[in-house]
């Protein structure tokens, strides 16, 4: 079995909730609410963007911060869905008869469609999951943790330690992705479970979890773990962006792109003069491919509002008109007159470029080689139509990172790293919140 993650996306939903998108599956673990501070990718968006994949919803136990009855409404939102739930999770009357539900107990193995699932005992309630999906071995601990509480009887803490070690020692010695509790309420013992897990299991990438909004745990980990250990840790932030996993070492978008140099790329302004992107070093950039006859053309107005609100704090918006999708006819001068006259645009317009294919501008080859297409928001009015149009031309269009449509946006940090890629259906209000946080 291949144990290095390659074409996999991992979305942080909240607390211990994650969604993993593989070639044929969307695995949702311990979802109970959307929108951590600063915005998130919602479960609705992930389900809508499943693109024919089999959705499998895992619930490790019934605690309120790991489970919500809302999951039983999800069959209305996606074509193929199954459930794998611990035997303490309440199942609505009739759901077991009408839905594909597998109820699991610890130390038992189950086949769920094309998945192989093994349940392990929790040190609290319910189970932990080991899932083999599309060539990847994925471990979600649920509430299986080394819960060492100050003030508890020594015998209880010793029994807890033994129980935790017993379950971890029963795992395979190698997994691709692991989700492990790191709870700041445990104070000095917050990472006991994580460090023991890392000493026993070779995991390609580890996602700390069970910290709610307290992202300070990552500062603690940087303080307490070695540099080599931190290379295996995914540092989660309150963002809708997925973690992109590739090669022998898994890297987030930020980590990957800091190894490249955006500022070496040169473009042309609307008058044909060469402009080095190094000119924008130290600024936050929003790079957009635009069109004047597109259903998303009103985004010009939203972009101008962003620019006026944040330009004094260091935001620059770079507008690259493109007729790649036959919706930006006319000369660049005509496009400029349209944008300034109709939307009052004041951010800089650059020369028309191609954004996809062999003739794509080097800037767009760079941007798409360091990001992936995460799907359209199917709750957006244009999302389903756009998906149907592109799928009719290429059923596998969503597997490739090239630009799909006008008004795809790339947010670049002050250090030149790619903060995120946002398809045209992405909520502009959430994007505003993300930009505010980056600035």
> Active-site residues: which are they?
294
Q: Is the dihedral of CA 277, 249, 120, 118 positive or negative?
A: positive
Distance, CA of 30 to CA of 142 (rounded, Å)? 7
CA distances from 122 to 89, 109, 208, 383 (A): 14, 15, 17, 40
Q: Is the dihedral of CA 375, 379, 380, 382 positive or negative?
A: positive
Distance, CA of 232 to CA of 251 (rounded, Å)? 9
Distance, CA of 331 to CA of 84 (rounded, Å)? 56
Give the phi and the psi of residue 174 in degrees, each rounded to 5: -145, 130
List CB contacts of 279: < 8 A, sequence separation 6 or more.
Answer: none
* CA contacts within 13 A on the Cβ side of 258: 8
Beta pairing, strands 418-422 & 409-412: antiparallel
Distance, CA of 301 to CA of 350 (rounded, Å)? 18
DSSP 227-255: HHHHTTB----S-SPPEEE-SSS---HHH
Closest-CA residue to 241 (of 433, 30, 48) = 433
Beta pairing, strands 108-112 & 174-181: unpaired
Q: Is the dihedral of CA 55, 58, 62, 66 positive or negative?
A: negative
């Amino acid at each position: 079995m291949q144990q290095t993650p390659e074409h996999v996306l991992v979305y942080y939903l909240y607390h211990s909730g994650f969604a993993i998108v593989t070639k044929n599956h969307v695995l949702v673990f311990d979802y109970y609410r959307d929108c951590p501070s600063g915005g998130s990718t919602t479960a609705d968006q992930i389900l809508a963007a499943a693109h024919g994949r089999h959705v499998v919803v895992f619930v490790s136990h019934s605690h309120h911060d790991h489970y919500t009855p809302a999951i039983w409404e999800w069959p209305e939102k996606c074509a193929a869905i199954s459930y794998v739930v611990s035997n303490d999770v309440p199942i609505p009357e009739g759901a077991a008869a009408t839905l594909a539900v597998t109820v699991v107990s610890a130390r038992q193995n189950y086949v769920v469609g094309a998945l192989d699932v093994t349940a392990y005992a929790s040190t609290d309630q319910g189970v932990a999951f080991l899932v083999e999906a599309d060539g990847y071995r994925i471990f979600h601990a649920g509430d299986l943790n080394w819960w060492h509480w100050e003030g508890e009887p020594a015998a209880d803490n010793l029994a807890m330690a033994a129980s935790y070690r017993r379950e971890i020692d029963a795992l395979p010695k190698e997994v691709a992705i692991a989700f492990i509790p790191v709870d700041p309420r445990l104070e000095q013992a917050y990472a006991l479970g994580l460090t023991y897990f890392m000493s026993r299991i070779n995991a390609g990438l580890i996602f700390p979890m069970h910290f709610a909004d307290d992202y300070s745990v990552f500062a603690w980990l940087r303080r307490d773990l070695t540099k080599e250990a931190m290379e295996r840790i995914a540092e989660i932030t309150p963002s809708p962006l997925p973690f992109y996993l590739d090669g022998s070492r898994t890297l987030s978008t930020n980590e990957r792109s800091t190894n490249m140099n955006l500022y070496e790329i040169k473009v042309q302004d609307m008058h044909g003069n060469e402009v080095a992107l190094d000119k924008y070093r130290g600024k936050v950039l929003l790079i957009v491919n635009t069109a004047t006859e597109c259903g998303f053309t009103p985004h010009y107005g939203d972009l101008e509002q962003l620019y006026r609100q944040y330009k004094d704090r260091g935001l620059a918006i770079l507008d690259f008109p493109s007729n790649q999708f036959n919706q930006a006819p006319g000369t660049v001068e005509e496009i400029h007159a349209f944008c300034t006259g109709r939307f009052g645009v004041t951010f800089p317009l650059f020369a028309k470029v191609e954004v996809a294919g062999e003739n794509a501008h080097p800037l767009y080859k760079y941007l798409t080689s360091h990001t992936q297409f995460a799907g359209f928001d199917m709750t957006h009015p244009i999302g389903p139509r756009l998906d149907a149009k592109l799928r009719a031309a290429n059923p596998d269009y969503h597997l490739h990172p090239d630009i799909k449509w006008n008004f795809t946006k790339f947010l670049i940090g002050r250090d030149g790293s790619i903060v995120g890629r946002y398809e045209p259906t992405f909520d502009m209000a959430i994007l505003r919140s993300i930009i505010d946080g980056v600035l």
